[in-house]
């Protein structure tokens, strides 16, 4: 059957489609049905089944005789380390860690925060939680203490598992002081912390609170897999919304298993035993779905890569890893290839490696610009597939169903909706738009298995953020269109979320930090186009009357403040002081107009603008920062 038939089969009988897709999963007790409609637009999948994620990702492969297969390849050009862990070893390591957590009182439903760099132990920590039904929440290492503190207070973890340090090129990221600082700031205190000491830095343990990763496992009984209900939360992953308070996306256990397992063959076209590599970080959704869970559930070998596309040691690293470990499908963000292309424009380093093992390259996380797709296709000779999804959905909304049948690629489009997703383009009033016309992208409810059923402890916010604007639909926050052939095009966000190097960030959160500076009376942060990172945040600061500090100094302090409060990942380095911000007569800041000026795009003078002359001042301030970048 081709894609159209499969999509039509899902449309005709979604219940049958998703019960069939649930077959390959090993259930402790199979679900009686797929969809549970809880009313008022709330849905759950396979809620009455009993199942365990770790069993499906690890133990069952051992029991099926594949214990010797490599489950995880750790490749760290930063530490010059390579290591392989078989499914058999992985089971033993995870069972031991889970046993030690249980011995310290962690039970089904307890939350555990994981703050780890790209080492296999990060995946082991996730799987150990899943083994005993604990709910993990992984926090990306590039976030600062305050962001970690916010997540501690929201998730209220019984335990935190952290590494002593992370390693960025040329810099050791001292995780332990960040962790200690976050626990100091947070109101909620974890009962204990497990510290994985890395050779590169041995952290000081807090007496009575911190235990050593190896030490606390000594002599404990390994834990067996605890079956949980299909609607038991597997994890919480915080993502940026429009305010400083991140959204805790909840992932239920059973739908997650079924959807990820389905996606591995149908989208990424790998078979059990193949090597699959997603070059991302466990702190992001890509890392959850496609470094940890998806490949392991499907019986693939996954790669934990601790390095960067360039500089570790050069722009040939991706090709080296692909050829050395025989990667069949490779997934990363377009920004990574833009970085490679900048260092090696002719793709000369590709020629040094044998890429015959590689079938295809997948891109997601941000808009894939046609230039980058074409360059990657040309230099590697491999098909490059864009696909579109979000932290909330956990897997592809629109992509190229290569494992079913590769559809023709149209540059600029992530291709078509996957079964399970009824994607529609709506106008402001919620009416479907004609083909080819731009509107808000919404998905008819219910969303498929594996997507978010709600936000952690915040159902009203879930409804307000996603369900209220277009009743009966999930609002994606993206705008775009669908063409005559059903191909989707993602054009822009409809909210204040920006995408920096494939990382989702909130300009609202940055504004909150800037506004806390004593000299700042008012501010605005916008996302401006950047040739490497897609977008960069840029701040406009209006100072309090009477502030006589030099502007440069305020800007420097503000840049430092965002790094300290949100973290280096915010990449907030561009800011300027202006007298006033452009606003509508009702006081709304005209951010979109500012973005157009910064990007050198034509814009219409907003009819409601309070004082058009302010735009001249903004244009001057931008010119001083070198924007628009390609201006003569
Ligand atoms: N821990 C601590 N700090 C981190 C970090 C981590 N895990 N990840 C990034 N940072 C820091 C970086 O060191 C950098 O700090 P600096 O300001 O001191 O230089 C800052 O956060 C910004 O990072 P980033 O935006 O990633 O820029 P970069 O210049 O380090 O790298 C790329 C640019 C394009 C090479 C890099 O972003 C990349 O590889 N992206 C791949 C895309 C990706 O993984 N996306 C995830 C979703 S698919
Ligand atoms: P995140 O939740 O961090 O994965 O970010 C999701 C957002 O990134 C989406 O809502 C889009 O705005 C953007 N995005 C992700 N993938 C793509 C893509 N293939 N094309 C365009 N935008 C994308």
Residue-range domains of the chain with CATH:
84-226 (3.40.50.980), 501-624 (3.30.300.30)
Q: How far is the CA of 214 from the centre of ligand 2 (A)?
A: 38
Task: Tell me what the mean pLDDT of segment 444-452 comes to.
Answer: 98
Pocket test for ligand 2, best of 289, 290, 364 (most atoms within 8 A of CB): 364
Q: Which ligand is nearest to the CA of 305?
A: 1
**Pocket lining for ligand 2, CB < 6 angstroms:** 239, 285, 364-368, 386-388, 390-391, 414, 476-478, 490, 493, 499, 504
Could you say which ligand is closest to the alpha carbon of residue 399? 2
* Ligand 1 in reach of 284 Cβ (< 6 A): yes
d(CA 345, CA 201): 37
Closest-approaching ligand to the CA atom of 569 = 1
Tokens of 237: 């992953």
Give residue 115 CA to ligand 1 midpoint distance, Å: 16
pLDDT score of 229: 98
CA 386–ligand 2 middle distance (angstroms) = 11
Q: What pLDDT, on the 0 to 100 scale, is given for residue 238?
A: 98
Of the residues 114, 142, 500, which should be mutated to test ligand 1's pocket, given the most ligand atoms within 8 Å of the CB? 142
Whether the CB-CB separation of 582 and 608 falls below 8 Å is answered with no
CB 332 within 8 A of CB 280: yes
Whether 341 is in the pocket of ligand 1, judged by its Cβ within 6 Å, is no
d(CA 335, CA 316): 15
pTM of the model as a whole? 0.96
385-399: per-residue pLDDT in tens?
Answer: 999 999 999 999 999
**CA separation (Å) from 578 to 271, 541, 610, 612, 622?**
57, 6, 16, 15, 10
Q: What's the gap in Å between 104 CA and the centre of ligand 2?
A: 39
Does residue 503 have a pLDDT over 90?
yes
78 lines ligand 1 (CB under 6 A): no
What mean pLDDT comes out for the span 223-236? 98
Give the containing element (helix H, strand E) for 597: helix 591-598
For residue 500, which ligand has an atom nearest its CA? Answer: 1
- Residue 72 CA to residue 125 CA, distance in Å, equals 14
In this predicted model, what pLDDT tens digit does every residue of 555-587 receive, in sequence order? 999 999 999 999 999 999 999 999 999 999 989
**Residue 39, SS3 per DSSP:** strand
Predicted confidence at residue 564, as pLDDT, reads: 96
Res. 628: pLDDT tops 90: yes
Q: Ligand 2: which atom is nearest the Cα of residue 363?
A: 19
What's 74-132 look like in SS3? Answer: EEECCCCEEEEEEHHHHHHHHHHHHHHHHHCCCCCCCEEEEECCCCHHHHHHHHHHHHH
Is residue 177 helix, strand or coil?
Answer: helix
Mutate which of 145, 167, 168, 341 to test ligand 1's pocket (most atoms within 8 Å of Cβ)? 168
Q: What is the DSSP string of 194-232?
A: EEE-BTTBPPPPPTTTEEETTGGGTTPPPPPP--EETTS
Give the pLDDT confidence score for residue 243 in this predicted structure.
81
- pLDDT for 84-119, tens place per residue? 999 999 999 999 999 999 999 999 999 999 999 999
Is the per-residue pLDDT at 631 higher than 90?
Answer: no
What pLDDT does residue 53 have? Answer: 99
Per-residue pLDDT of 62-73, as tens digits, reads: 999 999 999 999
Nearest ligand, measured from the Cα of 531: 1
Is the CA virtual torsion 582, 585, 587, 588 positive or negative? negative
User: Across residues 509-526, what is the average pLDDT?
Assistant: 96
To test ligand 2's pocket by mutation, which of 384, 499, 529, 534 has the most ligand atoms within 8 angstroms of CB?
499
Cα(413) to centroid of ligand 2, in Å?
A: 12
How far does Cα 89 stand from its chain's mean position? 28
Counting residues of the chain whose pLDDT is more than 90, the rounded percentage is: 96
Given a cut of 90, is residue 131 above it in pLDDT? Answer: yes
Residue 632: pLDDT above 60? no
Pocket mutation for ligand 2, best pick of 332, 333, 367 (most atoms within 8 Å of C-beta): 367
Nearest alpha-carbon partner for 285 in 48, 126, 133, 47? 126
Q: What is the CA(394)–ligand 1 centre distance, in A?
A: 21
Kindly give the distance from the C-alpha atom of residue 569 to the centroid of ligand 1, in angstroms, as a whole number.
6
- Nearest alpha carbon, ligand 2 atom 3: 504
Whether the pLDDT of residue 244 is over 90: the answer is: no
Model pLDDT for residues 298-353, shown as the tens digit of each residue: 999 999 999 999 999 999 999 999 999 999 999 999 999 999 999 999 999 999 99
Average model confidence (pLDDT) for the chain?
97
Please list, residue by residue across 455-484, b when 16 or more beta carbons sit within 10 angstroms of its beta carbon and e when fewer do.
Answer: bbebeebbeebbbebbeebbbbbbbbbbee
Tell me, what's the pLDDT at 607? 87
Ligand 1 pocket residue status of 339, Cβ below 6 Å: yes
Q: Does residue 20 line the site of ligand 1, with CB under 6 A?
A: no
629 pLDDT band, cuts 50/70/90, is: confident
pLDDT, tens digit, for every residue of 588-627? 999 999 999 999 999 988 888 999 999 999 999 999 999 9
Which distant-in-sequence residues (6+ apart) come within 8 Å of 356 by Cβ?
none
**Region 142-165: what's the mean pLDDT?**
97
Atom of ligand 2 nearest to the CA of 476: 10
Nearest-atom index, ligand 1, CA of 502: 45
Q: Is residue 534 in contact with ligand 1, taking CB distance under 6 Å?
A: no
* pLDDT at site 536: 97
Closest atom of ligand 2 relative to the 504 alpha carbon? 3
User: For residue 52, how far is its CA from the centre of ligand 1 (angstroms)?
Assistant: 33
CA dist., res. 491 & res. 469, Å (int): 19
Give the number of the atom of ligand 1 that is nearest the alpha carbon of residue 571.
22
* Proximal ligand: closest to the CA of 388: 2
Q: Which residues pair with residue 43 across a beta bridge?
A: 37
CB 162 within 8 A of CB 193: yes
Using the mean position of ligand 2's atoms as its centre, give its distance from the Cα of residue 392 in Å.
10
Q: Is 448 in the pocket of ligand 1 (CB under 6 A)?
A: no
């Amino acid at each position: 059957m081709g894609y159209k038939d499969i999509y039509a089969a899902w449309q005709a009988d979604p219940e049958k489609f998703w019960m069939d897709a649930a077959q390959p999963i090993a259930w402790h007790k199979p679900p009686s049905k797929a969809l549970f409609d809880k009313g008022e637009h709330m849905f759950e999948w396979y809620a009455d089944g009993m199942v365990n994620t770790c069993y499906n990702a690890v133990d069952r492969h051992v029991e099926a005789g594949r214990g010797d297969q490599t489950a995880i390849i750790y490749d760290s050009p930063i530490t010059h380390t390579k290591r392989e862990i078989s499914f058999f070893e992985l089971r033993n390591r995870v069972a031991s860690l889970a046993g030690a957590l249980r011995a310290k009182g962690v039970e089904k439903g307890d939350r555990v925060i994981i703050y780890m760099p790209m080492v296999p132990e990060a995946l082991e920590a996730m799987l150990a939680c899943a083994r005993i039904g604990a709910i993990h929440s992984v926090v990306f290492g590039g976030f600062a203490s305050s962001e970690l503190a916010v997540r501690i207070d929201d998730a209220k973890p019984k335990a935190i598992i952290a590494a002593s340090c992370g390693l960025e090129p040329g810099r050791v990221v001292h995780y332990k002081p960040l962790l200690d600082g976050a626990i100091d700031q947070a109101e909620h205190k974890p009962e204990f912390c497990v510290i994985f000491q890395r050779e590169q830095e041995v952290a000081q343990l807090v007496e009575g609170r911190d235990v050593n990763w190896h030490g606390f496992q000594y002599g404990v009984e390994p834990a067996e897999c605890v079956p949980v209900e299909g609607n038991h939360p597997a994890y919480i992953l915080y993502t940026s919304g429009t305010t400083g308070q991140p959204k805790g996306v909840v992932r239920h256990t059973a739908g997650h298993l079924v959807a990820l397992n389905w996606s591995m063959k149908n989208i990424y076209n790998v078979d059990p035993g193949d090597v699959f590599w997603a070059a991302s970080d466990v702190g992001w959704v890509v890392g959850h779905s496609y470094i940890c869970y998806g490949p392991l559930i499907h019986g693939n070998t996954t790669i934990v890569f601790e390095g960067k596309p360039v500089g570790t040691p050069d722009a040939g690293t991706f090709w080296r890893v692909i050829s050395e470990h025989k990667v069949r499908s490779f997934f990363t963000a377009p920004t990574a290839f833009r970085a490679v292309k900048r260092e090696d424009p002719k793709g000369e380093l590709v020629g040094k490696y044998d890429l015959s093992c590689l079938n295809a390259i997948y891109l997601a996380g941000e808009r894939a610009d046609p230039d980058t797709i074409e360059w990657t296709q040309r230099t590697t000779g491999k098909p490059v597939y864009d696909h579109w999804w979000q932290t909330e959905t956990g897997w592809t909304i629109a992509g190229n169903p290569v494992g079913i049948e590769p559809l023709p690629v149209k540059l600029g489009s992530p291709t078509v909706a996957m079964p399970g997703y009824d994607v529609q383009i709506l106008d402001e009033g919620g009416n479907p738009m004609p083909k080819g016309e731009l509107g808000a992208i919404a998905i008819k409810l219910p969303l498929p298995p594996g997507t978010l059923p709600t936000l952690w402890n915040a159902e009203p916010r879930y409804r307000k953020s996603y369900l209220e604007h277009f009743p009966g639909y999930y609002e994606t926050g993206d705008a775009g269109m669908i063409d005559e052939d059903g191909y989707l095009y993602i054009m822009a966000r409809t909210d204040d979320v920006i995408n920096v190097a494939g990382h989702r960030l909130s300009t609202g959160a940055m504004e909150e930090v800037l506004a806390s500076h004593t000299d700042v009376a008012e501010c605005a942060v916008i996302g401006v186009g950047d040739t490497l990172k897609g977008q960069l945040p840029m701040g406009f600061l209006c100072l309090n009357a009477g502030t006589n500090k030099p502007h440069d100094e305020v800007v420097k302090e503000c840049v430092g403040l965002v790094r300290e409060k949100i973290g280096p990942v915010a990449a907030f380095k561009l800011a300027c002081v202006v007298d006033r911000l452009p606003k509508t007569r009702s006081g709304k800041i005209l951010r979109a107009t500012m973005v157009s000026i910064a990007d050198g795009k034509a814009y219409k003078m907003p009819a409601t603008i309070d004082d058009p002359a302010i735009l001249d001042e903004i244009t001057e301030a931008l010119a001083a920062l070198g924007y628009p970048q390609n201006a003569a």
